[in-house]
Amino acid sequence: MSNIVKGILLMLISSIGFAIMTLFVKLAGDLPSIQKTFFRNFVSAIIAFILVVYNKERLFGKRENQLVLLGRSIFGTLGIVFLFYAIDHLVMSDADMLNKMSPFLVIIFSAIFLKERVLPFQMVTIVLAFIGMIFIVKPSVSVDFIPYLIGVLSAVFAAAAYTLLRVLGNREKFYTVVFYFSFFSTVVLLPFLIMFYEPMTGGQLLYLLLAGLFATVGQFGITLAYKYAPARDISIFTYSTVIFTTILSFTFFGEGPDIFSLIGYVIILGAMTYMFFKGRKAQETETAS
């Protein structure tokens, strides 16, 4: 099995993990998003802690990386809280697709803050992606618009977190980064959990713990995938999550995207596919020269 195939399989495993996480978050019912995020990240923190200790690495990383790790954790926590709110108030696949705007936003943030060059074809895909987002959100001046806006903000904060991960590069082990983020969010959200805690049934607690378990599968899967293959070869497979969430949403809740959302999906997936193949071609040309 080639490294690219391994990377693709790990990316698909990651997508399934995140899709099942989304399902369990939705099944947990009408609980505060902060409460759901706390239990999701609490499980991830425990698993990452075991890996860090087993590999005898630093729990909180190196001193020179603290600012980047802290920023990544702040934005990542906000991104998950907003994503879980969107999952609770939207069709699952809509919430997931809005969150998948983050790769396009990373390009913008990297250009602004990291001074990375934005190529013409990347600008085209960004414009197409935002057109697709409009079809999904269907902007209107009403209360119904708020969950869509929060879904978009989840992508903004996720993109900010991923941009900081680009800054971090390989300076920290992946399980150290996961532990730092999960531990930070658990500690920060604990006071809010106590203030706004709502009693849970045993089933709800089980759903949240399972959400945390499958979120960890998703996090580790995507991290390991990029160790086997470059992003240009496998990044497009992150969008398979939308397919899995759509299937799960229809199976468990009878929910499905409307025609406008489907048009938005096609536009965004088309933009990602175009960026994927165009990026590979540009990379091959650069390597050959």
The pLDDT of residue 231 is 63
Residue 156 located in a structural domain: yes
CB-based burial label for 288 (10 Å; 0-12, 13-18, 19+): exposed
CB-based burial label for 232 (10 Å; 0-12, 13-18, 19+): middle
Exposed e or buried b for every residue in 199-223, given b needs 16+ CB within 10 A?
ebeeebeebbbbbbbbbbbbbbbbb
Residue 273 located in a structural domain: no
Contact 90/151 with Cβ under 8 angstroms? yes
CB-based burial label for 274 (10 Å; 0-12, 13-18, 19+): middle
Which structure tokens are listed for 117? 């060059």
Residue 132 located in a structural domain: no
The pLDDT of residue 263 is 93
Mean pLDDT of 15-38: 94
Per-residue pLDDT tens over the stretch 116-174: 888 888 888 889 989 999 999 887 667 788 999 999 999 999 999 988 988 887 788 88
Q: Is the pLDDT of residue 271 over 70?
A: yes
Rg (CA), the chain: 19
- List CB contacts of 131: < 8 A, sequence separation 6 or more: 267
Residue 207 located in a structural domain: yes
The pLDDT of residue 223 is 76
Per-residue pLDDT tens over the stretch 100-124: 888 888 888 888 888 888 888 888 8
Domain span including residue 86: 3-116+143-254
Q: Is the pLDDT of residue 279 over 80?
A: no
Diameter of the chain measured on Cα atoms: 62
Please report how the helices 92-99 and 66-89 are oriented relative to each other, as an axis angle in degrees rounded to 10.
150
Contact 86/99 with Cβ under 8 angstroms? yes
Residue 288 located in a structural domain: no
Total of domains in the chain = 1
Residue 52 located in a structural domain: yes
Q: Is the pLDDT of residue 46 over 90?
A: yes
